[in-house]
């Protein structure tokens, strides 16, 4: 069919070009009428192939029978003029068919190009960008890491790589237990918000505690309990079994306020988070940083945690 569409108009045009001189010289030849009717039939058949319909609504179609009969009362016309009129009609039809075939061919070429591009796109495999570590806890927290460091930023924000674990559909029993934890009401509303988060953490309602502590940090970013809240957020994630998110909060707390009330805790628990992540190199660096920078806490308030973390690591001497 495609071969017919591409080749037939050219053959018709050549036939008409060859037949035109003979028609001009022998308009009365009876064989000429047969030849013209044959050409008209071929053009009509070709029209039905190229165009979507077979009547005048879609294209002006020549009807061979129209040239064979003349309505009664119509004056006889010059046979030569009739032949020329019919030849003009054939030439016009061939011209229109040729133009239509060229347009169809152009559209097909474009479609084939688009299909080739789509096939090439499907076969291509996009390269995945490798992960990069960002943020370092001074030079002591970065040297020779065996896995990417936790994300840090200038302002305390939680890492977004690991979604917060929340109960999908809290049971009525859990909701009642959470509501049973009273929120303090004192003259310091900021401290009340933090204390409520602490109580939720202490009761092991970790998702609720995380939500409450983040609310406190948002509402009271300059409060005296900010260092406590960031550190407790890390503790909550660590208790929940999410050491990567915990490490992010510990590192942020130390970076934001190295002299804060809970900065020593955050460095020590950062080492514990790295140990749980099996990043021994960073864990040892953080542990060494804690022992050197906070010797009083290492020998006093945080000694038990310090010994436990150190006992779980094989750090170079």
How long is the chain?
317
Nearest to 277 by CA among 317, 237, 307: 237
Is residue 122 in some structural domain? no
Instruction: Pick the last residue of a domain from 75, 103, 131.
Output: 103
Yes or no: say if 178 and 196 are a contact pair by the CB < 8 Å rule. Answer: no
Q: Say whether pLDDT at 261 is over 50.
A: yes
| Domain count of the fold of the chain | 2
- pLDDT the model gives residue 290: 96
User: For the range 128-136, what are the long-range contacts, defined as Cβ-Cβ under 8 Å and sequence gap of 24 or more?
Assistant: 135/251, 135/255
pLDDT digits (tens, 9 = 90+) for 196-230: 999 999 999 999 999 999 999 999 999 999 999 99
Neighbour-count burial for 239-258, b at 16+ CB within 10 Å, e otherwise: ebebbbbbbbbbbbbbbbbe
Is residue 76 in some structural domain? no
Residue 156, burial from CB neighbour count under 10 angstroms (0-12, 13-18, 19+) = buried
Structure tokens, 5: 């569409």
- pLDDT the model gives residue 65: 45
Which has the higher per-residue pLDDT, 5 or 301? 301
Instruction: Pick the last residue of a domain from 46, 74, 103.
Output: 103
- pLDDT the model gives residue 185: 94
Q: Say whether pLDDT at 102 is over 90.
A: no
Nearest to 209 by CA among 244, 239, 233: 233
Is residue 169 in some structural domain? yes
Q: Report the range of poorest mean pLDDT among 12-16, 114-118, 140-144.
A: 140-144
Is residue 56 in some structural domain? yes
Which run of H or E residues covers position 81?
helix 79-123
Is residue 118 in some structural domain? no
Is residue 40 in some structural domain? yes
Q: What percent of the chain has pLDDT over 70?
A: 58
Yes or no: say if 270 and 286 are a contact pair by the CB < 8 Å rule. Answer: yes
Nearest to 181 by CA among 169, 192, 168: 192
Question: What DSSP string runs through 97-160?
Answer: HHHHHHHHHHHHHHHHHHHHHHHHHHH--PPPPPP-----STGGGTTT-SSPPPP--SS----S
Residue 178, burial from CB neighbour count under 10 angstroms (0-12, 13-18, 19+) = middle
Q: Say whether pLDDT at 33 is over 90.
A: no
Specify whether 166 is located in the same domain as 89.
no
Specify whether 296 is located in the same domain as 176.
yes
Mean pLDDT estimate for the chain: 74
Nearest to 286 by CA among 251, 316, 311, 246: 251
Specify whether 88 is located in the same domain as 174.
no
CATH of the domain at 180: 1.25.40.10
- Contacts of residue 12, Cβ cutoff 8 Å, sequence gap at least 6: 39, 42, 43, 46, 90, 94, 97
- Contacts of residue 186, Cβ cutoff 8 Å, sequence gap at least 6: 192
For 210, phi then psi, to 5°, come to -60, -45
Is residue 189 in some structural domain? yes
Specify whether 15 is located in the same domain as 95.
yes
pLDDT digits (tens, 9 = 90+) for 268-278: 999 999 999 99
Specify whether 245 is located in the same domain as 299.
yes
C-alpha gyration radius of the chain: 44
Specify whether 152 is located in the same domain as 50.
no
Specify whether 147 is located in the same domain as 93.
no
Q: Say whether pLDDT at 163 is over 80.
A: no
Is residue 116 in some structural domain? no
Specify whether 148 is located in the same domain as 277.
yes
Distance, in Å, from the CA atom of 313 to the CA atom of 271, rounded to the nearest integer, reads: 10
pLDDT digits (tens, 9 = 90+) for 279-295: 999 999 999 999 999 99
Specify whether 37 is located in the same domain as 155.
no
Distance, in Å, from the CA atom of 33 to the CA atom of 22, rounded to the nearest integer, reads: 12
Mean pLDDT of 160-175: 64
Specify whether 179 is located in the same domain as 259.
yes
Specify whether 255 is located in the same domain as 201.
yes
Specify whether 32 is located in the same domain as 150.
no
- pLDDT the model gives residue 104: 72
Q: Report the range of poorest mean pLDDT among 86-95, 160-169, 239-248.
A: 160-169
Residue ranges making up the domain that contains 200: 143-311
Q: Say whether pLDDT at 260 is over 60.
A: yes
- pLDDT the model gives residue 300: 96
Residue 248 pLDDT class (50, 70, 90 cuts): very high
């Amino acid at each position: 069919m495609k071969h017919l569409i591409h080749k037939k108009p050219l053959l018709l045009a050549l036939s008409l070009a060859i037949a035109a001189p003979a028609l001009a010289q022998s308009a009365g030849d009876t064989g000429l009428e047969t030849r013209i009717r044959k050409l008209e039939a071929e053009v009509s058949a070709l029209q039905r192939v190229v165009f979507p319909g077979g009547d005048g609504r879609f294209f002006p179609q020549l009807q061979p029978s129209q040239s064979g009969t003349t309505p009664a009362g119509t004056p006889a016309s010059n046979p030569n003029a009739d032949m020329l009129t019919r030849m003009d009609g054939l030439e016009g039809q061939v011209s229109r068919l040729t133009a239509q075939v060229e347009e169809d061919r152009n559209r097909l070429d474009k479609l084939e190009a688009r299909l080739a591009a789509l096939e090439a796109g499907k076969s291509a495999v996009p390269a995945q960008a490798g992960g990069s570590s960002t943020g370092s806890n001074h030079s002591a927290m970065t040297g020779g890491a065996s896995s990417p460091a936790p994300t840090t930023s200038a302002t305390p924000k939680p890492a977004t790589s690991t979604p917060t674990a929340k109960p999908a559909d809290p049971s009525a029993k859990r909701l009642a237990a959470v509501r049973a934890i009273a929120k303090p009401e004192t003259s310091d509303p900021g401290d009340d918000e933090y204390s409520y988060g602490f109580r939720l953490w202490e009761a092991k309602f970790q998702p609720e505690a995380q939500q409450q502590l983040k609310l406190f940090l948002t509402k009271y970013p300059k409060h005296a309990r900010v260092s406590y809240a960031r550190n407790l957020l890390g503790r909550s994630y660590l208790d929940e079994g999410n050491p990567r998110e915990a490490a992010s909060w510990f590192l942020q707390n130390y970076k934001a306020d190295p002299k804060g009330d809970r900065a020593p805790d955050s460095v020590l628990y950062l080492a514990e988070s790295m140990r749980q992540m099996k990043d021994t190199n960073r864990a040892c660096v953080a542990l060494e940083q804690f022992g050197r920078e906070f010797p009083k806490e290492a020998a006093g308030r945080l000694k038990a945690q310090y010994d436990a973390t150190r006992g779980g690591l094989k750090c170079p001497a």
